[in-house]
Amino acid sequence: MAHRIVILGAGTGGTIVANRLQRLYGDRAHITVVDRDDVHVYQPGLLFVPFGLAHPSEIVRSRQAQLHGDVEFVLAQVRGVALDSAIVHLEGAADIAYDVLVIATGAVLQPEETEGLLSAEWGRSIHTFYSLEGARVLHETLADFREGRLVVDVIDMPIKCPVAPLEFCFLADWWLRERGVRADVEITLVTPLDGAFTTPLASERLGSLLDEKDIRVEAEFATGRVEAAARKLYSWDERELNFELLVAIPAHGGADYLGRSPGLGDALGFVPADRHTLQAKAAKNVFAIGDATDVPTSKAGSVTHFEAQTVVENIERHLEGDELTGCYDGHANCFVETGFKKALLLDFDYEHQPLAGRYPEPHLGPLTLLGESRLNHLAKLAFQPLYWHVLLPGHDIPGIGSRDRDDGHLDAARQEPSKAVGSR
């Protein structure tokens, strides 16, 4: 009998895993992917929408169209997962039994978790760019924004793409200068962490960017509530900050059904999973990938892409009755837009904080790690077609993958004392 593999979520992780498993198993598996809608958003593109650098229609495609033709796609809301009986319950659709379940439902925005955030000012003086609709509406508001304090507020960690709020500040600086109103706007980044940069090497190399771009940082400010009518933010310890325009990154949590599935989600609804095998701690036949997990690395597409290889390998081993040997190392890389058509590139894993150097080839690059360059910016722009046509179908991107790192730059950098600063 064919293996019954059910994947919840058709975003980056669910799509890559489904396509790789379909090619691996063919008729020997029946693969079902469930999602509540058919809108696949290229999330790195959300950052560009408020500044008119991308139109919402350019970063959206059908979820189903990204899946291999033999994968079954079910459009339904998940009501819950019964681990003991290995059944997924859906709203308004038949239950699905599974041999292996993959949880790939990402992270959801929870603005309702912060008192006063979802007020009459939502969409007027209070915005987010973390959703397609939010980014679209913010673009309209920014067009008329000429003076006052712009506050970019990270409500709580973890968030998707933790550098995106900083990138937003950099792009806002550029955009406001282009429009000739930068002198009349103060840009403040609010973070619950103790700085915009929290690792020593990044802090040393990149700290000056904030001064150059005149971006203020309000650190260790954990937002407790918003008084929308007065346009004020309050921290839990009653520090006060006023704003003309608030761009909030709402608290994140796992998908709702995880809270309704005993044993699956933690206090925030993320799935406790082994950080190396990605097997859920609640059940041996459940795996988790991407933003949905609680593993200690960034919630980012590159992480999901690298994790997919481990998840596929370990599903295969689990179904064969073998010990899990696939091993994810926390590898992540990301481009950080710094404005003026430049970008930084970061690369790190569980053991190493972001390092300086070149990527993907040590010494050669062509991309520069932890430094600004135009090529990094062009590479970030060039990534979207790769995402749809190479990454989602589950093909390898030459030079970029977890496995290639056996002789990769991180190990090379470790051996060079001059570059090893960031690893300690």
CA dihedral 176, 196, 11, 263 (to 10 degrees): -150
Cα dihedral sign for 291, 405, 18, 95?
negative
Minimum separation from the CB atom of position 233 to other proteins (A): 15
Q: Smallest gap, in angstroms, from Cβ of residue 319 to other proteins?
A: 27
Strand order in the sheet with 240-242: 223-227, 232-235, 240-242
Which CB atom, from 67 or from 413, has the smaller least distance to other proteins?
Answer: 413
Asked if residue 29 lies in contact with residue 22, where contact means CB atoms within 8 angstroms, the answer is yes
**Shortest Cβ distance from residue 87 to other proteins (Å)?**
27
Q: Put the strands of the sheet holding 332-339 in their side by side order.
A: 332-339, 342-348, 365-369, 357-361
Nearest approach, Cβ of 205 to other proteins (angstroms)?
A: 9
d(C-alpha 148, C-alpha 176), whole Å? 12
Nearer to other proteins, 313 or 347 (CB): 347
12-25 and 301-320 helices, crossing angle to 10°: 40
> Which lies closer to other proteins via its Cβ, residue 32 or residue 110?
110
- State how far the alpha carbon of 259 is from the alpha carbons of 204, 253, 268, 381, in Å: 41, 10, 8, 37
- The least CB distance from residue 260 to other proteins, in Å, is 16
Least Cβ distance, residue 298 to other proteins (angstroms) = 4
Residue with smaller CB distance to other proteins, 5 or 264: 264
Closest separation in Å from C-beta 346 to other proteins: 6
Handedness of CA 95, 96, 97, 100 (dihedral sign): negative
Q: Which is nearer to other proteins, 15 or 293 (CB)?
A: 293
Closer to other proteins by Cβ: residue 131 or 423: 423
Return d(Cα 192, Cα 298) in angstroms, integer. 16
CB of 96 to other proteins, least distance (A): 29
Would you say 296 or 321 has its CB closer to other proteins?
296
C-beta closer to other proteins: residue 191 or 277: 191
Which stretches of the chain bind other proteins, using CB under 8 A? 113, 156-158, 162-163, 191-194, 197-200, 202, 206, 220, 222, 224, 236-237, 251, 266-268, 272, 275, 294-298, 300, 332, 334, 336, 346, 348, 350, 354, 424
